[in-house]
Amino acid sequence: MQQINDFAGRLGGVYLLPVVVAALAFVMIGAPSSWVTLTVAGLAMGMMIFLMASGLSLVFGLMDVLNFGHSAFVSFGAFIAASVLAWLSGWLEADAVSLNIAALFLAFGAAILFGLVAGWFFETVIVKPVYKDHLRQILITMGALIVAEQMILAIWGGTPVSVPRPEFLEGSLLIGDITIEIYRIFAFLLGLGVYAALYLTLNRTRIGLLIRAGVENREMVEALGFRVDRLFVAVFMLGSALAALGGAMWAGYETLITPALGAEMMIVVFIVVIIGGLGSIQGTLLGAIMVGLMANYIGYLAPKLALASNMILMVAILLWRPNGLKPAVK
Amino acid sequence: MSLLTLNGMKTNIGQYAVLHDVTLDVPEGGVFVLLGRNGAGKTTTLRSIMGLWQPSPGSVLFKGQDITAMHTADIARLDIAFVPENMGVFGGLTVEENLILATAKGRFDPARLKRIYELFPALETFWTKQAWSLSGGQKQMLAVARAIIEPRALILIDEPTKGLAPAIVDAMADAFREIAQNTTILLVEQNFEFAKSLGRDMAVIDDGRIAHSGTMADFAADTALQDRLLSLSA
């Protein structure tokens, strides 16, 4: 057994898991074109979930805060982006790609800005008074999520809101008999870019070093002369902004959103954070990709099991690795 | 003049009163040893000085400045370093990253780094290794190195010999002697032989109160007092 573990470790360890899952799915699906389409869809979905979940993982790991209101930022990000895109519909339909891109990035920018400001408010007013008290954290952040949903209902109404997409992200690429949606490629690349930026920030900068150290031992970071409470606010704002960006991306992916979006995504986001390992960006990425791939493969192979696929994945991984796939060192 | 003064310090942890009345003067320079049995309040005293637990009432004066209500980070910036009992090394960070985090400006002073390599050669060998992979002794070396990577006025060290092999304890004693030439060390220790070899002044804490203070030479000579204050049967 040890030899198998060592061999798997040399090949990449837990990072090999999505490759193994994809290889198994290839055998079971049989048709290469369907497999490629499902794999790209799974990776794109995984990257969008990663955006939503990465902030929660850091907040969980660094601040030991159970923020059930995290998905409120996802919802607001989605609706704000949808509104900005609707407002700039003229730019979206224009032939000029530059106007398409400008509209898209203004929508994303608005979602991120909301996430930063709302994250600051949420941390300062709602979370700070209940540090170190998990029960109250759950109650107050769940309450905040309900309030946020009601605010969305009051502002945007209860009917589903359609989300216009920029012209340049519409349609699909046809490679032989393989069909790949352009939006999915874009979602994957954007997610990858955000991951790279987060990875470099955490591993190549002093603030990243502080965050990683704070996830392990907050008290010791303070004993070295750093105000972790100020770091908390910054991390919370960053996590909220990433969630809002994830929501904006998800809105473009779904093209029709409802106020229940946040509550629906909350379960998936928590599953990703738990199976990835608390406080770890690599773990969150791994967990999100696993969830994305499994949802697509099982949805194709055994549709009746699709809804349960995430739960089955979580149970299987936690039985194997109770602390998740790649937890931060504590 | 005292570098550190504790005046009637009382500290509660939750509903339990751990320190009842700690009054102590730590002079500048050398090693000041705080002895005491398990659960006497040694660790709580260090943590209260660092602001990790708030003493109330009572006060902590450092170089005459009242630091009782200050935030831990602000206390640390007064050039006070803390080496906790569990060493507090960041396992997911490399040896280099652990040390660079303790520098004031995010870069090493080459002379100080050279001194650390001389004191603890193992740290140079394992420079790029993650700290979780180090042995207990190497982790302790890293924890102490982190405390001296910048000039400090005071270093609080909590039971540095706990669980270490005798050879590493000897190396640690040599290192502390050298460090104490330029810095004051407040050392909490249960290993009396180790403490005796280093301490100039000392105090014994018992049941949250300072039961005795004086010079180490006098205390070492008084076996009856040692038995009364430190033995398990007392």
How high is the pLDDT of residue A216?
Answer: 87
Over range B37-48, report the average pLDDT: 92
The angle at the Cα of B167, spanning B163 to B168, to the nearest 5 degrees, equals: 55
The full DSSP string for B62-88 is: ETTEE-TTS-HHHHHTTTEEEE-TT--
Is A68 within the bounds of a domain? yes
Over range B26-55, report the average pLDDT: 93
* Percent of chain A surpassing pLDDT 70: 96
The helix (run of H) or strand (run of E) holding residue B188 is: strand B184-188
DSSP character for B1?
-
Mean pLDDT, chain A, integer? 90
Q: Cβ contacts of residue A319 below 8 Å, gap of 6+?
A: none
How high is the pLDDT of residue A115?
Answer: 97
- For residue B126, pLDDT over 80 is answered with yes
The CA–CA distances, whole Å, from B158 to A89, B47, B86, B227 equal: 65, 10, 8, 22
Distance, in Å, from the CA atom of B47 to the CA atom of B20, rounded to the nearest integer, reads 15
Handedness of CA A234, A243, A219, B160 (dihedral sign): negative
- For residue A7, pLDDT over 80 is answered with no
The CA–CA distances, whole Å, from A270 to A132, A264, A291, A310 equal: 19, 11, 11, 11
- For residue B172, pLDDT over 60 is answered with yes
pLDDT tens by residue, A274-305 = 999 888 899 999 999 999 999 999 999 999 88
**Do β-strands B16-27 and B59-62 pair in parallel, antiparallel, or remain unpaired?**
unpaired
Domain that holds residue A107: 2-159+174-320
Q: Is A219 on the interface with B (CB under 8 A)?
A: yes
Contact criterion met (CB < 8 Å) for A227 and B71: yes
Over range A76-90, report the average pLDDT: 94
Is A59 within the bounds of a domain? yes
Chain A residues whose CB is inside 8 A of the B150 CB are none
How high is the pLDDT of residue A192?
Answer: 95
pLDDT tens by residue, A19-31 = 999 999 999 998 9
DSSP character for A160?
P
- For residue B230, pLDDT over 90 is answered with no
Q: What architecture does CATH give domain B2-87+153-230? A: 3-Layer(aba) Sandwich (3.40)
Contact criterion met (CB < 8 Å) for B73 and A206: no
Contact criterion met (CB < 8 Å) for A206 and B106: yes
How high is the pLDDT of residue B234?
Answer: 46
The residue among A133, A203, A224, A282 with the most chain B CBs within 10 A of its CB, best to mutate, is A224
Residue reference for tokens 């497999």: A35
How high is the pLDDT of residue B212?
Answer: 94
How high is the pLDDT of residue A41?
Answer: 94
Query: What residues are paired with B61 via a beta bridge?
Result: B5, B66
Is A283 within the bounds of a domain? yes
- For residue B127, pLDDT over 90 is answered with yes
* Percent of chain B surpassing pLDDT 90: 75
Q: Cβ contacts of residue B12 below 8 Å, gap of 6+?
A: B18, B56
Is pLDDT larger for residue B15 or for residue B63? B63
Chain B residues whose CB is inside 8 A of the A215 CB are 92
Contact criterion met (CB < 8 Å) for B130 and A329: yes
Asked if residue A319 lies in contact with residue A8, where contact means CB atoms within 8 angstroms, the answer is no
Distance, in Å, from the CA atom of B182 to the CA atom of B30, rounded to the nearest integer, reads 8
pLDDT tens by residue, A191-201 = 999 999 999 99
Confidence of residue A64 (pLDDT cuts 50, 70, 90): confident
Q: Is A161 on the interface with B (CB under 8 A)?
A: no
- For residue A5, pLDDT over 70 is answered with no
Across the interface, which of A209, A217, A219 has its CB nearest the CB of B97? Answer: A209
Contact criterion met (CB < 8 Å) for A329 and B101: no
Chain B residues whose CB is inside 8 A of the A328 CB are 92
Is A169 within the bounds of a domain? no
Tokens of B102: 């303790």
State how far residue A313 is from chain B, nearest Cα, in angstroms.
Answer: 27
Phi, psi of A109 (to 5 degrees): -60, -40
**Do β-strands A172-175 and B154-158 pair in parallel, antiparallel, or remain unpaired?**
unpaired
Least-confidence region, from A32-41, A91-100, B71-80:
A91-100
Question: Smallest Cα–Cα separation from B216: which of B29, B19, B31?
Answer: B31
* Percent of chain B surpassing pLDDT 70: 99
Number of domains making up chain A: 1
Q: How many CB atoms lie within 10 A of CB A312?
A: 12
Contact criterion met (CB < 8 Å) for A210 and B72: no
Over range B181-208, report the average pLDDT: 92
Q: Cβ contacts of residue B193 below 8 Å, gap of 6+?
A: none
Distance, in Å, from the CA atom of A193 to the CA atom of A177, rounded to the nearest integer, reads 29
Over range A246-263, report the average pLDDT: 92
Number of A–B residue contacts, CB under 8 Å: 62
Question: Smallest Cα–Cα separation from A143: which of A157, A156, A130?
Answer: A130
Question: Smallest Cα–Cα separation from A42: which of A261, A312, A306, A304?
Answer: A306
Asked if residue A248 lies in contact with residue A78, where contact means CB atoms within 8 angstroms, the answer is yes
Three-state DSSP state, B6: strand
Contact criterion met (CB < 8 Å) for B101 and A216: no
Amino acid letter, A201: T
Q: For chain B, which residues make up each domain, given as ranges?
A: 2-87+153-230
Phi, psi of A30 (to 5 degrees): 85, -50
Asked if residue A289 lies in contact with residue A282, where contact means CB atoms within 8 angstroms, the answer is no
CA of residue B65 relative to chain centroid, distance? 20
pTM as predicted: 0.82
| Residue A234, domain CATH | 1.10.3470
- For residue A12, pLDDT over 90 is answered with no
- For residue B165, pLDDT over 60 is answered with yes
Mean pLDDT, chain B, integer? 92
Least-confidence region, from A4-18, A214-228, A313-327, B188-202:
A4-18
Asked if residue A69 lies in contact with residue A147, where contact means CB atoms within 8 angstroms, the answer is no
Three-state DSSP state, B209: strand
